[in-house]
Amino acid sequence: MKNYSNGHVTIHDYFMMYFAKWKRVAVVLLAVWIVVTYLVISPLRCSGNSDEIPDVQERLKRMSSELEVLWQRNSKLIAQIKKSSGLNGNLKDLDPAFWNLEAGLGPSEEYENLRRRIHSNTKEFWYYANHELGKLMHESDKEAKIRAILEQLSDRKSTLLSDQEKLSEMDGYHEWRQLEAANVSDLVQRRLHYLQNPPDCREARKLICNLNKGCGFGCQLHHIVYCLIFAYATERTLILNSKGWRYNTKGWEYVFHPISESCLSSYDDKVVQWPVSYDAKVVSLPFIDSISQKPKFLPLAVPKDLAHRIVRFNGDPSSWWVGQMLKFVLKPRLPMQKAINDTIAKMNFKSPIVGVHIRRTDKVGTEAAFHHIHEYMAHVKDYYDQLELTRPVDVRRVYLATDDANVLDDARQKYPEYTFLGDPSIAKTAATHRRYTPLSLTGLLVDLHMLAMCDYLVCTFSSQVGRVAYEMMQSNRVDASNSFFSLDDIYYFGGQNAHDRVAIMQNHGGKNEDISFEVGDKIGVAGNHWNGYGRGTNKRTNMNGLIPWYKTADHLVLYPFPEYKQVPIYSETSQKNV
């Protein structure tokens, strides 16, 4: 590789090094496709049982067809790379708006979306292959062969994901993403501080949020987030009424710092219930579950003026935006922070570590299905197996948070090769009959803090605590969108507006209960089945059924929130450029 006399790599050499990495990924994709096709067909084509041949052949035909589609798609990606790079590596042939290499303005949206999409589709390929081949394992005399195929697929999947994660470290924008994420977060926090501390509290327009919702702490946190987003969108200072709070009757401000330094009262002004037909000075919000005329700025919407900055460093802007609200409100007072710190100090908490949240008790059988410990640990193992491709791991640590005190002992007995961190006393205080106490709240805050600090999170998004932990992760690092696995739901915000995906490839339905759609169709999604398919409704045809997940992409809702021009884009201490 050529260097300037000062030791810097030339743009040309950097570009060639970068595309060499992409070509390596393309070769591995080809190898995976060849191995899957050969290993599946070879051991099954001569089973000798004439009764099962038609059924096996039909499944193989369907699998081969799907694998061919996946291969064609990755071939298109390879073609895009070749078209962009060219044989002579001439940078003048590239679109400067796409790469921004010379401008120094960071990666384009197209580049970031492509990088994340390859990562996502590699996982979707694995979900599909794992599901389809897993079904064949139950057939006589084929289990060992199919298991070997799954093991090889798992190894290759880990290699692909590991290589692709390196892209963001090697593309020259790693520091830029860190700085941009910090700058945008700082801007949001300063805007919220401006909103919550008006020059004249008595004259300020206000929004009343009553913290008397009959639910757990995660649910109540999301209620405050909903109120704060509403206040931000309507330019009203949020007043939090929390006297008689079920976790501490003295109120939110006794445990956490108040959400305003100067404006905590609505005085004696008339309070009008939302929705209002005029610009009332003080408005009181109902719970999100019962709100009528639901505004479009509610989650999963993100501010239009910030969206094009956020998507360049984060893969899930909606949860990032919610995470910024949590960052603003979750500021424990000194006694609570000391209690949290003292508990953490007793644990040997250090990286690498995977956080696991197992919700049992009141959720199971009503809002969520029961999941055994091995379902969680399978994803913990996957994380560490992939990590060991790039670095040695001396101890496989797991922080286990649960509301069932027996789970921690069970995990230690069944998985002695892992070191489990956790406090059984926290699980005991999380039991249903002890949950709404100051001691329980301390334990819950410890669990949330620890889970959010982990390198990877395995949980159920049907649990509010699981979602809060993920949202907090989004607020303490550049991008946590690939740092979790949910055993059940995809990410959502309770009471949210519709969650849509957009078709980016055509699909001819009817094969596996999947629906047809055209490029550009919006599909309202009900969830991902983690087998290569999700369920949704085509909003153009109103057809409901399965959707091949890789043929769709998340539809990001942009809303024209106020831009708060009074707040500078950069603070005095912020750097504008790397």
- Cα(217)–Cα(441) distance, integer angstroms: 8
Place of tokens 């005190």: 405
Q: Judge whether 438 and 247 are in contact, CB under 8 Å.
A: yes
When the pLDDT of each residue in the chain is averaged and rounded to a whole number, the result is 84
- Cα(164)–Cα(162) distance, integer angstroms: 5
Nearest to 94 by CA among 12, 39, 217, 159: 12
- At the topology level of CATH, where does 311-486 sit? Rossmann fold (3.40.50)
234-248, 431-445, 513-527, 562-576, range with the lowest pLDDT: 431-445
Q: How confident is the model over 419-437, as a mean pLDDT?
A: 79
Q: Judge whether 286 and 230 are in contact, CB under 8 Å.
A: no
Q: How confident is the model over 218-222, as a mean pLDDT?
A: 96
Residues 6+ apart with CB under 8 A from 450: 344, 347, 349, 355, 399, 401, 421
Answer yes or no: is pLDDT of 8 > 60.
Answer: no
Q: Give the SS3 label for residue 58.
A: helix
How does pLDDT run across 244-284, given as a tens digit for each residue?
999 999 999 999 999 999 999 999 999 999 998 888 999 99
Say what angle helices 373-387 and 406-414 make with each other, to 10 degrees.
Answer: 50
Place of tokens 């327009």: 205
Query: Could you give phi then psi for residue 544, rounded to 5 degrees?
Result: -115, 140
Q: What pLDDT is stored for residue 107 in this prediction?
A: 76
Q: How confident is the model over 178-201, as a mean pLDDT?
A: 98
Q: Give the SS3 label for residue 452.
A: helix
β partners of residue 87: none
Q: What pLDDT is stored for residue 355 in this prediction?
A: 98
Q: Judge whether 506 and 518 are in contact, CB under 8 Å.
A: yes
Answer yes or no: is pLDDT of 90 > 80.
Answer: no
Answer yes or no: is pLDDT of 109 > 70.
Answer: yes
Answer yes or no: is pLDDT of 367 > 70.
Answer: no
pLDDT band with cut points at 50, 70 and 90 for residue 302: very high
pLDDT band with cut points at 50, 70 and 90 for residue 92: very low
| pTM of this structure | 0.80
How does pLDDT run across 20-39, given as a tens digit for each residue?
555 555 555 655 555 555 55
- Cα(193)–Cα(485) distance, integer angstroms: 33
Report CA-CA distances (Å) from 137 to 40, 168, 344: 12, 37, 44
Q: Give the SS3 label for residue 397.
A: strand
- Superfamily of domain 500-559, CATH level 4: SH3 Domains (2.30.30.40)
Place of tokens 């106020």: 562
Residues 6+ apart with CB under 8 A from 42: none
Answer yes or no: is pLDDT of 128 > 50.
Answer: yes
Domain boundaries, the chain: 115-170, 197-298, 311-486, 500-559
CA 470 to chain CA centroid, nearest Å:
7
Q: What pLDDT is stored for residue 434 in this prediction?
A: 66
9-18: long-range contacts, CB 8 A cutoff, minimum separation 24: 11/91, 11/101, 11/102, 12/89, 12/91, 14/172, 15/85, 15/89, 15/91, 15/101, 16/89, 17/170, 18/170, 18/171, 18/172
- Cα(33)–Cα(30) distance, integer angstroms: 5
Residues 6+ apart with CB under 8 A from 337: none
Q: What pLDDT is stored for residue 99 in this prediction?
A: 43
300 preceded by a cis bond (ω within 30 of 0): yes
Q: What pLDDT is stored for residue 123 in this prediction?
A: 84
